[in-house]
Structure 1
Amino acid sequence: MHSSLPIRTACPPGACVCKREALLADPRADQRILLLTKAEESRLVAHLESVETLADLRRMQVKMLDLLGMVVRIAPGANEVRTVRGFEIRIEDMPGLCSKTRQAIPAAIRRGLERRPDIAYAILNENDLLADT
């Protein structure tokens, strides 16, 4: 990784299982996730909370994959979806991803879906769950 770019600071010992040090020690590893500093994470969370359309949300997913190597999957849960809590929002496991980030991103997406229910309906429509209504 280019040394002039800021990287995320280490979590307190025992507070996280992100394997940051092992990731830094391997020069061949994908270290893009370490570019997500706490300030950048705050900006990302704010942007995810304020998405206006499903297309915006999908673009954010692509950007997170391209820039950070982070795969975020959003789909209706296995049970009935009555609220945005019924959506399954998962981040695929990857070394270097802080556990707080792993919780903050899905929470921000849920807040965005609560703010814009039309996006939640569009996700349901993508999965043919509202096809008969």
Structure 2
Amino acid sequence: MNAPFPIRKACPPGACICGQDALLKDQHADMRILRLTTEEEKKLIARLESLSSLSDLKHMEQRMYAQLGIVLTIAPGIHEVRTIRGIRIQVEEQPGLCRKTRQAIPAAIRRCLEKHPDIAYAILNERDLLSGT
């Protein structure tokens, strides 16, 4: 099947479990994720690393879902949050989403949180973890 837009080059067999081939065969599947080419992924990662506020992060979450179908969850971990690593950043699995991309998105957000700890504090404050301090 030929998509009306450029699609991501398929991963080598056995290297990834993205299921891009099965996605291309299914006519009723959500094909938005295939728009994330390698070049577009680099732009997305750079944009995530350069976020400047919590509202900017929330906006990117919404845009990623609307344009690519990527579901991103950012929340404090179930244990104590002493460092940025205590914040849980999860990208849900979906057909067509490469394993490397699922790892690169949280890594980019963590780098952003390390550069801008005020965003991390705002995430914690959303859940009232820092209220009263």
Query: TM-score scaled to structure 1, two decimals?
Result: 0.97
2:97 partner amino acid: L
AA aligned to 2:99 is S
CA distance in structure 1 between the partners assigned to 2:93 and 2:46 by the alignment: 23
Q: Give, in angstroms, the shift of residue 86 of structure 1.
A: 0.6
How far is 1:115 from its partner? 0.5
Runs ≥4 residues deviating over 6 A:
none
Match status 1:113 vs 2:104: no
Per-residue CA shift, 1:29-88, capped at 9, x if unaligned? 001001000100000000000000000000000000000001100000011111111110
**Equivalents in 2 of 1:97, 1:26: separation in Å?**
15
Cα deviation for residue 92 of structure 1 reads: 1.3
Quote the residue 1:69 is aligned against: 69
Displacement of 1:4: 3.6
CA distance in 2, matches of 1:110, 1:2: 36
Offset, 1:3: 2.9
AA of the residue aligned to 1:66: A
**Uncovered stretches (5+) of structure 1, i.e. residues with no partner:** none
Please list every run of 5 or more consecutive structure 2 residues that lacks an aligned counterpart in the other structure.
none
> Which amino acid is 1:22 matched to?
A
In 1: Cα distance, 2:130 partner to 2:2 partner: 47
SS in 2 for 1:94: coil
Partner of 2:84: 84
Cα distance in 2 for partners of 1:57, 1:105 equals: 12
The separation in 1 between residues aligned to 2:8 and 2:77, in whole angstroms, is 32
Task: Give the distance between the partners of 2:60 and 2:2, measured in 1 at CA.
Answer: 24
Instruction: Find the counterpart in structure 1 of residue 20 from structure 2.
Output: 20
| Aligned counterpart, 1:125 | 125
Q: CA–CA distance in 1 between the matches of 2:2 and 2:99?
A: 24
How far, CA to CA, are the matches of 2:2 and 2:14 in structure 1?
Answer: 28
2:33 corresponds to? 33
Report what 1:10 is aligned to: 10
1:50 equivalent in alignment to 2:50: yes
Which letter does structure 2 place at the counterpart of 1:65? Y
Give 3-state SS (helix, strand or coil) of 1:30's partner.
Answer: coil
Offset at 1:120? 0.2
SS at match of 2:88: strand
